[in-house]
């Protein structure tokens, strides 16, 4: 596994562990209900390349460790340990259920994802309760409570993912709008430049024509050969300027064909 993936795994685990410090203790001593279990599947959803088993395995180590640090000032070491150890099978069970019921399946949708998180949440909590007090600690009331907790956390997860998708869509639309405005301004600039280039081309054609006429008239008027040579060179230089304009226009035409309408312009040289 790359260093980048390891860094991401530990970062996600510490975030979940930090969120787990804000919790509600219900059902049994040491058992907590926390919003962090909303963000666990959320990170699994965002970081599909990491895999649920990897995320949950690292979290199973980091989260109890962080919680142990917060409990030691209040409880004896053995008591704190007994309170946090059942969290390890919770995270491992969560990762296993998610991996086998969702990640290994081909058809993956958001609705299936949410349904699987309900199973993961509910099943993992039951496993944790079994480690805390055995079958004697599980009653109908506890099972109903765990189901309600799983449903509520999955509902929050669903709203979180939908909100994220809408926000991403909003950013994409803004980016498209910004790009469209840029292209619109670029198109306007090109068309303005092309308009003036066309005018200059027409002007160059006239100058070249007049220069060449002067060169031909020199043969009739018997002017000096030096002057005729100068007029011919001038005609050639003007022609080179014309060729440079043509090259620029053709380059723009190739790059932005929709901007160039050269049907009215003779580009032969």
Which residues span the domain enclosing 131?
3-138
223 and 125 share a domain?
no
Domain total of the chain: 2
Mark whether 134 and 187 lie in a shared domain. Answer: no
Q: Are residues 132 and 217 in the same domain?
A: no
| 90 inside domain | yes
Residue after which a domain boundary falls, among 74, 107, 138:
138
Instruction: List Cα–Cα distances, 186 to 120, 190, 245, in angstroms.
Output: 53, 6, 20
Are 215 and 123 in a shared domain?
A: no
94 is a domain residue: yes
146 found inside a domain: no
Residue 205 lies in a domain: yes
Q: Could you list the pLDDT tens digit for every one of the 269 residues in the chain?
A: 788 889 999 999 998 888 877 666 555 545 556 778 888 999 999 888 899 999 999 999 998 888 888 877 777 878 778 788 888 999 999 999 999 999 988 888 999 999 999 999 999 989 988 888 788 778 888 888 889 888 988 999 999 999 988 888 878 877 877 777 777 777 777 777 777 777 777 777 778 777 777 777 766 666 777 777 787 788 788 778 877 877 877 777 677 665 544 444 444 44
124 and 209: one domain?
Answer: no
């Amino acid at each position: 596994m790359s260093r980048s993936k390891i860094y991401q795994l530990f970062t996600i685990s510490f975030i979940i562990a930090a969120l787990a410090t804000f919790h509600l203790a219900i059902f049994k001593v040491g058992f907590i209900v926390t919003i962090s279990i909303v963000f666990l599947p959320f990170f699994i959803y965002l970081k599909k390349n990491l895999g649920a088993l990897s995320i949950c395995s690292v979290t199973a180590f980091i989260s109890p460790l962080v919680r142990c640090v917060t409990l030691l000032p209040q409880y004896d070491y053995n008591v704190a340990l007994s309170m946090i150890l059942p969290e390890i099978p919770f995270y491992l069970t969560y990762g296993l259920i998610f991996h086998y019921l969702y990640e290994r399946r081909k058809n993956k949708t958001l609705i299936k994802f949410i349904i699987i998180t309900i199973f993961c949440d509910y099943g993992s909590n039951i496993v944790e309760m079994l480690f805390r007090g055995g079958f004697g600690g599980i009653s109908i009331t506890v099972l109903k409570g765990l189901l309600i907790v799983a449903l509520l956390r999955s509902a929050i997860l669903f709203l979180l993912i939908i909100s994220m998708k809408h926000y991403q869509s909003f950013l994409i639309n803004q980016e498209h709008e910004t790009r469209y405005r840029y292209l619109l301004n670029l198109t306007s600039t090109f068309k303005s430049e092309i308009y003036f280039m066309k005018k200059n081309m027409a002007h160059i054609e006239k100058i070249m024509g007049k220069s060449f006429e002067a060169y031909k008239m020199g043969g009739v008027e018997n002017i000096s050969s030096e002057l005729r040579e100068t007029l011919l060179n001038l005609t050639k230089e003007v022609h080179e300027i014309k060729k440079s304009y043509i090259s620029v226009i053709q380059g723009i035409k190739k790059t932005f064909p929709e901007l160039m309408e050269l049907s009215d312009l003779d580009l032969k040289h």
